[in-house]
Amino acid sequence: MGLSGNAAIVGAAQYKPEKYQTAPQMFHLEQVADLAHKALLDAGLHKDDLDGLVINGPHFHEASVFVPAMAAEYLGIEVNFAEVVDLGGCTAVAQIWRAAAAIEMGLCQAVLCVIPARMAPLGPDEDPAWMAQAMRFGGHSTAYGAPEAEFDLPYGHMGQNTGYAMIAQRYAAQYGYDKSAMAKIAVDQRFNAQYHKDAIFRGKELTVEEVLASKLVADPLHVLEIVMPVAGGAAVIVASKELAARAKKRPAFVTGFGERLSFKSPSYAKDMTVTPVAEAAKRAFAMAGLTPQDIHAAQIYDCYTITVLLSLEDAGFVPKGEGQRFIKEHNLTWKGDFPLNTHGGQLSFGQAAAAGGFSQVIEAFDQISNSAEGRQLKGCDNIFVSGTGGVMSEQGALILQGG
Amino acid sequence: MATLKPMPVATKISAPFWQALKENQLKIQQCNSCDGWVFYPRNHCTHCFAHDLQWKQISGEGVLYSYTLTRIPTMPEFSDEMPQALAVVELAQGVRINTTLIDVAEQDITIGMAVKPVFDKVSIDGETLLRFTSTENVGGVRDYIDPLKDLTRNDQGQVQVPVSNLTALSALADNKFTDWSNQIVVDQALINAFAELSGDDYWLHTDPERAKKESPFKTTIAHGSLVQVLQSRLTIALPFEIIGFKTMVNYGSNRLRFPAPVPAGSTIYGRSKVQDISVSHKGVQLTLEVHIHVVGSDKPSVINDLVILYR
């Protein structure tokens, strides 16, 4: 059961992360077409090769229903496979395996996976205040009958920070908490960002002391352990083995995946410190026939430092409770013995909403296809990628391998 | 009672939970089929899917499963609780509840500590939130404290509410009308003057002879917009005065309606109520619902939801 490695990432495009205030504004449809064009050029494939589309549904600007149909029509393509994914930060990883699965089933040969994340221009009479209002509650629904509207919001439980903070506090009570180890995650990733021309924090190095001196947001999380939202967007082309043979770059074959959704609020987790990636990664490794020891680089979804720690442990890279020691004992930079988030991670590359998850996928592709410029790993064939949505609510794992 | 903080809106599924809290009891659901406990309220059991749950009263004792202290409020409206002690409590029945800890010093909060419920009255109407405190504390009921109680009053007896005091501001939005204002007469001379000023000299307002014959009202009526602006001549005694702002701007109207005519010669008066208070990046926005009636008439001649912005 699972993939046979007959589908691969063959091309990608990603907007440079920018501050919302200064980033270009484009309709989401316009971004989809632009990103698709750039990703096809990267792959060396043609528009007519595309016969599948996976797109993010939530926050799509020009439509809230029939998003794939609108986007396919706008692009000028017909597809045999159309899908919307609604898994927050896990969406990118989830799009890739869905595309690979559809290709292996023979539904299609080349799938555009795409998440636009630049702001759309405001309509002539549109009040810019609506967006600030909509963002007030983070990922929490305010709809009548939504459990979180009734049982979370009145107590001030909202947004992402406090949920992750409570997970970290629980972890600290169970296993201990080494603030400097947690800060080192951000610091090593910041080092990597110095070697990516598009990273938002390129040119700004960081020390453990600076992380720990930064403002506490919710105990124990400092502001420099929390991802910065940016404008951006990304597209990835997944294609069949046959098409991949025609591609310009070395393909990254999708040989394993897993997905697990455990809850919306971590308060209702069976165990708050055991995250859904445990199940997802186990399945992904088994499918690929690999173990964590076979992995040459890990691109771990990093909305917070605590996300990285728990994902490293639960994905099997280090036993539960030993992650902080592991982080201190290893050099996590691209020059080190455990290359982690070699583009800087979203913490230092920037998080373009749900497209932020693509930064990890695309970095894996860049490493495998030998396109990682100044931070290229040698002999990098096996990469683990994770995605995380909500508050550790839903996680996905991918194994990508050079052919 | 409006509040700036989001308030729970009970559904038919959850109503017994909120009603019990009002009565200082904690009730959660247990499955008749598998004995499993369920929280938050549902129609089905999350353990066995049976649709056979029963409300049971419980003591509410439990342990602190996790918590965080916020150093930046999760919304500006919660700045009166800083640091917010956001908590997850695991009840003896095994279910977890999102809540806040109260009356426990920062250094005394430890994961695993024993806690018990506090029924916190958050509005004058008895709306109750379920908070928790250490079992070493008294617990029980926390009474509603009127946030206007200790504020100063001006020489007209109005309570003075600083624009920065969000808790007090929220208490103003009580949806209760003021007393009626003074009365003024809207006679034909006033209507004619407004017709000349505005350029709206339609016969319905200005030609008593024709109106007597052709108007459904059998007489001339005042312009709706005239009655609207006459609000400035009506002294509506608000029970409060907002203080401590840099600028106050009339931001316009969310709703302007003229549901009933004001025939020439009528006497009018008005009243108002605070419909809503909200906070945004623009500042504090107060929505004042102004009603102007012909004296003695139940139906308003003007409804104007005036938006006033303080910053």
Q: Do B129 and A154 touch (CB under 8 A)?
A: yes
Subunit contact B71:A265, Cβ cutoff 8 A = no
Per-residue pLDDT, A129: 74
Domain of B297 in residue numbering reads as 159-184+221-310
Distance between terminal CA atoms of chain A? 21
Nearest Cα residue in chain B from A150: B8
Evaluate whether residue A391 is within a structural domain.
yes
Question: With contacts defined as CB-CB under 8 Å, which chain A residues touch B78?
Answer: 156
Does the pLDDT value for residue B2 go beyond 80?
no
Contact A156 B100 (CB under 8 A): yes
Chain A CB contacts of B88 below 8 Å = 166, 267, 272
| Interaxial angle between packed helices A179-193 and A305-314, expressed in degrees from 0 to 180 and rounded to the nearest 10 | 100
Q: List the helix and strand counts (H, then E) for chain B.
A: 6, 16
Contact B8 A150 (CB under 8 A): yes
- Is pLDDT of B139 > 70? yes
Please report, for the domain that includes residue A308, its CATH number.
3.40.47.10
Task: Answer yes or no: is B7 within a domain.
Answer: no
Contact call for B8 and A151, based on CB within 8 A: yes
Q: What chain A residue is nearest to B111 in terms of C-alpha separation?
A: A173
Q: How far apart are CA B188 and CA A208, in angstroms?
A: 79
* Alpha-carbon span A280 to A386, nearest angstrom: 9
Q: Is the residue at A15 inside a domain?
A: yes
Contacts of B14 in chain A (CB under 8 A): 150
Among B108, B142, B176, identify where a domain stops: B142
- Asked if B129 and B174 sit in the same domain, the reply is no
Q: Which residues contact A318 (CB under 8 A, 6 or more apart)?
A: A312, A326
- Give the distance from residue A96's alpha carbon to the nearest chain B alpha carbon, in angstroms: 32
- Residue A338 domain-assigned (yes or no): yes
Q: How many interface pairs between A and B have CB atoms less than 8 angstroms apart?
A: 106
Nearest CB to A156; choose among B40, B74, B280: B74
Is it the case that residue A337 has pLDDT exceeding 80? Answer: yes
In a domain, B205, yes or no: no
Instruction: Give B7's contacts in chain A (Cβ within 8 Å).
Output: 154
Interface test with B, best of A133, A140, A155 (most B CBs within 10 A): A155
Q: How many domains does chain B have?
A: 2
Taking contacts as CB-CB distances below 8 angstroms, the residues of chain B near A154 are: 5-8, 129
Mean pLDDT calculated for residue range A84-104: 98
- Mutate which of B47, B98, B130 to test chain A, going by most A C-beta atoms within 10 A? B98
Q: Please, are residues B137 and B115 in contact by the beta-carbon 8 Å criterion?
A: no
The CA dihedral of A292, A295, A297, A303, to the nearest 10 degrees, is: -30
Please check the confidence at residue A67 and state whether its pLDDT lies above 50: yes
Residue B3 lies in a domain: no
Mean of the pLDDT values across residues A356-363? 98
Inter-chain touch B129–A151, beta carbons under 8 Å? no
B80/B163 same-domain check: no
A26 neighbors A253 (Cβ within 8 angstroms): no
Q: Are residues B103 and B244 in the same domain?
A: no
Determine the pLDDT at residue B165.
87
Q: What is the mean pLDDT of residues A232-243?
A: 98
Of A40-44, A103-107, B164-168, which gets the smallest average pLDDT? B164-168
Q: If pLDDT is split at 50, 70 and 90, which confidence band does A1 have?
A: low
CB A92 within 8 A of CB A220: no
Question: What pLDDT is attached to residue A260?
Answer: 98
> Which tokens in the block code for residue A375?
């931070």
CB spacing of B70 vs A167 below 8 angstroms: no
Cβ <8 Å between A170 and B97: no
pLDDT of amino acid A109: 98
Indicate the burial class of B298 (C-beta count within 10 angstroms; 0-12, 13-18, 19 or more): exposed
* Judgement on whether residues B176 and B227 belong to the same structural domain of the protein: yes
pLDDT score of B167: 83
Q: In which band, very low, low, confident or very high, does the pLDDT at B1 lie, cut at 50, 70 and 90?
A: very low
First CA to last CA across chain B, in angstroms?
Answer: 24
Give the chain A residue whose CA is nearest to the CA of B100: A155
Whether residues B163 and B137 share a domain: the answer is no
Secondary structure, 3-state, A131-177? HHHHHCCCCCCCCCCCHHHHHCHHHCCCCCHHHHHHHHHHHHHHHCC
Residue at A323 is within a domain: yes
Mean pLDDT estimate for chain A? 96
What digits encode the pLDDT tens for the residues A153-169?
999 999 899 999 999 99
Q: How far is CA B9 from CA A154, A163, B245, B293, B295, in A?
A: 10, 23, 32, 33, 37
Give me B217's structure tokens: 């009202």
Q: Which residues of A touch B97 (CB under 8 A)?
A: 151, 267
Give the pLDDT score at A120: 95
B187-238 confidence digits (pLDDT tens): 999 999 999 999 999 999 999 999 999 999 999 999 999 999 999 999 999 9
Which of B11, B71, B110 has the CB atom closest to A217's CB atom?
Answer: B71
Which residues of chain B does A170 touch, with a Cβ-Cβ cutoff of 8 Å? 65-66, 111
Say if A199 falls within a structural domain. no
Q: Residue holding tokens 């501050």? A: A19
Query: Can you give the residue range of the structural domain that contains A292?
Result: 7-121+227-402
Chain B hits for A268, Cβ within 8 Å: 96
Q: What's the structural domain count of chain A?
A: 1
Residues of A in contact with B91 (CB under 8 A): none
pLDDT of residue B3: 56
- pLDDT, chain B, mean: 94
The residue-averaged pLDDT of A315-329 equals 98
Q: Examine residue B214 and state whether it is found in any structural domain, yes or no.
A: no
Provide the pLDDT confidence category of residue B27 given band limits of 50, 70 and 90.
very high
Same domain, B137 and B163: no
| Interface contact B71-A149, CB threshold 8 A | no
Query: Does residue B149 belong to any structural domain of this protein?
Result: no
Chain B environment of A156 (Cβ under 8 Å): 5, 70, 73-75, 78, 81, 84, 86, 100
Who among B8, B81, B86 is closest to A162 (CB)? B86
**Residue B174: per-residue pLDDT:** 79
With cut-offs at 50, 70 and 90, classify the pLDDT of residue A262. Answer: very high
Q: State the smallest CA–CA distance between residue B193 and chain A in angstroms.
A: 35
* A151 domain residue, yes or no: no
Closest chain A residue to the Cα of B101, Cα to Cα: A155
What's the rounded mean pLDDT across residues A27-40? 98
CA of A233 vs chain B CAs: smallest distance (Å) = 27
Contacts 24+ apart (CB under 8 A), A328-335: A328/A178, A328/A180, A328/A181, A328/A184, A331/A188, A332/A184, A332/A185, A332/A188, A332/A189, A333/A188, A333/A191, A333/A192, A334/A192, A334/A195, A334/A297, A334/A372, A334/A375, A334/A377
Instruction: Please tell me the distance in Å from B7's CA to the nearest CA on chain A.
Output: 5
Using a CB-CB cut-off of 8 Å, the residues of chain B touching A157 are 74, 86, 98
Structural domain contains residue B150: no
